[in-house]
Chains A and B, each alone.
Chain A
Amino acid sequence: MPSIASASIVLLIQKLRSIHARVSASSVARRTGATTGVNALGDLQLKLCDVLTRFLAKTCAEVREIDEAEALLDVSKVSRAAELLSRLTRFTGSEDAVGPPQGTVLPFTDLVRSVAPNAAVIVRCQSAYEYESYFEIRKILEDAVPTELVRETFLGFPQGIYVLNIPVVEARNILHHCLLGHEVGHIAFLRNKLEGIPTDLLNTDPARSEFDSAFSEYEAEQGGLEIDLFRTWVSKIISNWFKELASDLFAANIMGPCIFFALRDFALPLFPLDFTPGDPSVALEYPPLCRRFKLMLETIMPFLKREGVNSTEPVNHGQILDELRADAEEWKTTASELGVKLPQPYRFVGRVVDECLTRVQDDISASRPRYFYDPSTFREEVFDLYERIDEDILPNELLLPGEGPKIGRPPHWQSILNAAWIYYLLSPKERFGVFKDWSKKSEGGSALGPSRGTTEKMMELRYERLMEFNDFISRAVEVSIFHDSFQKNKAQWGDLFSDPGKRRHTG
């Protein structure tokens, strides 16, 4: 008669085989155009299923010799590992077939790897802009089976997996994909171990006394909370706001002005600009939008300086910058005015978070990470790309002056996205004139919404043009990244990108 351990092992082996079959069946479809993270994860899952199955089979064979309780402990550990593997199949299963464009996948994969070397990256379409991280894989598996079995399997596999999610409805909207900069900001936040800053700050004497007076004010205004509960609540909000705003700070430094344009375009129709007293639950997780805008605008201002920019006709770059800076200043003033009207305890939260952010800003200024986008690069590259877009030329390359062997060089991918946003906002040409109709300030509209007289047909046309524009920009990013990789890896790639003939130009 089989023991409980033996029966459990058989069931668990069946589960592992089904995971193996599922990952294996989708592997062919998955490989085509999938991110390297997905492929690495798929291979790892297959290997781990084999390792765990072999381990269970061995335990099953020995079950008569070893203690039943010991065997059940093994089963319990492996079942935890199998559960994790099962969860991970959602990244490698065939349902992941609708993917974002390579113009998004390639730059953000590289970016995450700059922030977190040795990490695998998955960029995929899901329900919202968000990130996930999986660091526990190796630990859970090492707990489940003897370490030596896992060690070999994990050779060459990254330390952890980061997943960047894009809403399915936004799959083609590369202009909005700039928001992934915020998700990468979260990863930078984790990697820099910044989460402890608020606790350190709250333990200082000035912060303690400020907390006490905030509590008194709150009691006088609303009341109904014990001081300990109040402390827990406030600490939670501080932690959440700090995490979000610090990620915004990283995002603005990584992406440049386009992060603000993207957030404004995406979030303003969905979320209130200011704190909503009637719905404080929103404020528990996220700071009001005006705070996020203010921080981003302060960070992007150095990008919008006029110095070193060509200000001659026909395309006056200085004038474009002036226009963008004036718009940014206007938004910054509005955001600053709104941000001060917070009730307690959010006033206290705001002050603490501001101080925490100052510490992060000081650290960033002292040693600027390599993956940040430089304001001088923005000014050097964006306007040439803007002119290419204006001429309906793919903005994937910057022409080099002189008669050297190289004709052009790839720009930074952030420059392409910034040029695209600026072009989209200003829409100077008939081809994208439909955007301009949308954004006539004189008619009370903005780039964020329809002006008076906008018809349903115009909205459809605008969507069509916007997707066309997105595809155009996505392709530019993709080609420029391949161009850059080609230059860096030419020696390593050898003749892969050549042709089978030895002689060249012979037809």
Chain B
Amino acid sequence: MILGRGAILGRLRDSNPERRLTISPILESEQVGRCSVDIRLGNEFLLVNRETGIMGIDPIRRGEMAESVRRYQTRVEIAYGSPFYLHPQQFSLARTFEYLALPSDIAGYVLGRSSWGRLGLVIATATVVECGFKGVLVLELANLGSVPIVLYPGMRIAQLVLHSVDAGTNIPVSPATP
């Protein structure tokens, strides 16, 4: 069952740490919608270089692939209030502003917002956020339009839909991402 606003707020304020949902910080209560939570863009990006000198990425050759990925990405940190330009056909990884900690009985999906999609910005992500996840989400941003899109860290960029999980598990899924 998808969690509605009341259930989300209740879980965010739950005094029991085992049941508490953490989406931190929620800057405005309007971020929590009828059945989703808006999440914001963080200030750290991994840009994919235009000229890489790499013939291709071969997932079978894992060692080489990791090295290739390192070579074609550049880490960029943008100060809050400063713009980040995503040029046409450019691809970038970006962290969310919010830190998430999901209890063992809640999972989620991250979806792009149609308001951005209409401008050509696609926010594809590994959409499932498993129960028990702790850390920040990594979004995959791509500008499919023909003009640069200016993004600011802190903007509402995607939405998180949460739902309950029957017979959840406490198996840790991922270490907390700094």
Q: Are A32 and B119 in contact (CB under 8 A)?
A: no
Residues of B within 8 A of A486 (CB): 27, 154
Residues in A465-507 with C-beta less than 8 Å from chain B:
468, 471-472, 474-475, 478-480, 482-483, 485-487, 490, 496-501, 504-507
Q: Are A497 and B154 in contact (CB under 8 A)?
A: yes
Complexed CA–CA distance, A33 and B45 (Å)? 12
Complexed CA–CA distance, A406 and B28 (Å)? 7
Say whether, besides A475-B178, A479-B97, A499-B155, A410 and B29 are in contact (CB < 8 Å): no
| A468 and chain B: residue at smallest CB distance | B178
Residues of A within 8 A of B38 (CB): 499, 504-505
Of A32, A392, A471, A496, which one neighbours B134 at CB under 8 angstroms? A392
Q: Taking the complex as formed, is B64 at the interface, i.e. its CB lies under 8 A from any CB of chain A?
A: no
Complexed CA–CA distance, A321 and B117 (Å)? 52
Of B101, B114, B119, B152, which one neighbours A496 at CB under 8 angstroms? B152
Q: Are A482 and B24 in contact (CB under 8 A)?
A: no
Q: Taking the complex as formed, is A408 at the interface, i.e. its CB lies under 8 A from any CB of chain B?
A: yes
Q: Are A399 and B99 in contact (CB under 8 A)?
A: no
Residues of B within 8 A of A506 (CB): 114-115
Binary contact track B118-145/A, C-beta < 8 Å → 1, others 0: 0100000000000000100000000000
Q: Are B115 and A501 in contact (CB under 8 A)?
A: yes
Q: Taking the complex as formed, is B12 at the interface, i.e. its CB lies under 8 A from any CB of chain A?
A: yes
Complexed CA–CA distance, A270 and B29 (Å)? 49
Interface stretch (choices B48-56, B72-80, B86-94, B163-171): B72-80
Complexed CA–CA distance, A501 and B78 (Å)? 24
Of B27, B111, B152, B155, which one neighbours A507 at CB under 8 angstroms? B111
Residues of A within 8 A of B78 (CB): 32-33
Complexed CA–CA distance, A392 and B17 (Å)? 11
Of A393, A471, A483, which one neighbours B178 at CB under 8 angstroms? A471
Residues of B within 8 A of A490 (CB): 28
Q: Taking the complex as formed, is A299 at the interface, i.e. its CB lies under 8 A from any CB of chain B?
A: no
Chain B nearest CB from A412 CB (Å) reads 15
Interface bin, chain A: 35 or more
Q: Taking the complex as formed, is B113 at the interface, i.e. its CB lies under 8 A from any CB of chain A?
A: yes
Q: Taking the complex as formed, is B34 at the interface, i.e. its CB lies under 8 A from any CB of chain A?
A: yes
Residues of A within 8 A of B17 (CB): 387, 391
Residues of A within 8 A of B40 (CB): 497
Complexed CA–CA distance, A102 and B154 (Å)? 15
Of A387, A396, A500, which one neighbours B99 at CB under 8 angstroms? A396
Say whether, besides A31-B82, A475-B178, A482 and B119 are in contact (CB < 8 Å): no
Q: Taking the complex as formed, is A374 at the interface, i.e. its CB lies under 8 A from any CB of chain B?
A: no
Chain B nearest CB from A365 CB (Å) reads 35
- Interface residues contributed by chain B, number (CB under 8 Å): 43
Residues of B within 8 A of A499 (CB): 38, 113, 115-116, 155-157
Q: Taking the complex as formed, is B104 at the interface, i.e. its CB lies under 8 A from any CB of chain A?
A: no
Q: Taking the complex as formed, is A394 at the interface, i.e. its CB lies under 8 A from any CB of chain B?
A: yes
| A489 and chain B: residue at smallest CB distance | B81
Of B27, B80, B99, which one neighbours A393 at CB under 8 angstroms? B99
| B155 and chain A: residue at smallest CB distance | A497
Residues of B within 8 A of A397 (CB): 24-25
Say whether, besides A32-B76, A392-B101, A407-B12, A507 and B113 are in contact (CB < 8 Å): yes
Q: Are B77 and A32 in contact (CB under 8 A)?
A: yes
Of A34, A482, A505, which one neighbours B33 at CB under 8 angstroms? A505
Complexed CA–CA distance, A34 and B79 (Å)? 7
Q: Taking the complex as formed, is A278 at the interface, i.e. its CB lies under 8 A from any CB of chain B?
A: no
Residues of B within 8 A of A394 (CB): 24, 99, 176
Q: Are B114 and A507 in contact (CB under 8 A)?
A: yes
Q: Taking the complex as formed, is A2 at the interface, i.e. its CB lies under 8 A from any CB of chain B?
A: no
Binary contact track A388-412/B, C-beta < 8 Å → 1, others 0: 0001111011010001011110100
Residues in B55-77 with C-beta less than 8 Å from chain A:
76-77
| B9 and chain A: residue at smallest CB distance | A407
Q: Are A504 and B24 in contact (CB under 8 A)?
A: no
Chain A nearest CB from B35 CB (Å) reads 8
Complexed CA–CA distance, A393 and B14 (Å)? 15
Say whether, besides A32-B76, A497-B152, A393 and B113 are in contact (CB < 8 Å): no
Q: Are B155 and A496 in contact (CB under 8 A)?
A: yes
**17 intermolecular pairs with C-beta atoms under 8 Å apart:** A32-B77, A393-B134, A394-B176, A399-B12, A405-B29, A408-B25, A478-B43, A479-B24, A479-B99, A483-B25, A485-B80, A498-B155, A499-B115, A499-B116, A501-B115, A504-B38, A505-B36
> Which residues of A are interface residues toward B (Cβ below 8 A)?
31-34, 102, 387, 391-394, 396-397, 399, 403, 405-408, 410, 468, 471-472, 474-475, 478-480, 482-483, 485-487, 490, 496-501, 504-507
The 4 closest A-B pairs by CB, nearest first: A501-B115, A505-B33, A471-B178, A394-B99
9 more CB-based (< 8 A) A-B contacts, given A33-B76, A34-B79, A393-B22: A392-B134, A405-B29, A407-B12, A482-B154, A497-B155, A499-B116, A500-B115, A505-B34, A507-B36
